[in-house]
Amino acid sequence: MSKQELTLTAPPAAGCCAPISSAALDAEQAAAGAAAFKALADPVRLRLLSIIASAGGEICVCDITPQFDVSGPTISHHLKVLREAGLVDCERRGTWVYYWPIPERIQWIAGLLATPINPG
């Protein structure tokens, strides 16, 4: 599946919930949100996501791994968690795997935390 097709696909939970500042979440919504936040609750994963999201397109895993002091398998594990959370996707091409962010999913999580700024 090409990157183009993927970014046109709505993420599973898009539009699920109003921001927490406007309505309380029910138990099911809270479980979905907490699972997404759990994917971001690790320093290596959050930094990985920031590297992928700020790459301006896609990025080769060969350009990601050297930025960390941890092992390749550890990076692979964290990339898998981000992928399972729907925050990034990837494609193998020859020797290397290329990653790109899923902005709709990141926006969904950010939207949960949206608050009115200087209301009135």
- What is the footprint of a second copy within residues 60-79 (CB under 8 A)? 67
Query: Which residues does residue 98 pair with via DSSP β-bridges, in sequence order?
Result: 60, 91
Residue 80 interacting with a second copy (CB under 8 A): no
Neighbouring CB atoms inside 10 A of 104's CB total 16
Give the list of residues 6+ apart from residue 64 with CB closer than 8 angstroms, or none.
48, 51, 52, 75, 79, 99
Which of the ranges 4-12, 15-23, 74-82, 88-96 carries the binding residues for a second copy, by CB under 8 A?
15-23
User: In the set 16, 53, 81, 97, which binds a second copy (CB under 8 A)?
Assistant: 53
DSSP string, 85-104: TTSEEEEEETTEEEEEE-HH
Residue 7 touches a second copy, criterion: CB under 8 A: no
Cβ 53 vs Cβ 99: under 8 Å: no
Confirm if 16 and 32 have CB atoms less than 8 A apart: yes
Piece of the chain touching a second copy by CB under 8 A; list 8-16, 26-34, 73-81, 88-96: 26-34
Binding to a second copy by residue 8, rule CB under 8 A? no
**In the set 3, 16, 25, 58, which binds a second copy (CB under 8 A)?**
25
Q: Kindly list the residues in this chain that would bind a second copy in the complex (CB under 8 A).
A: 20-27, 30-31, 33-34, 37-38, 40-47, 49-51, 53-54, 67, 101, 103, 106-107, 109-110, 113-117
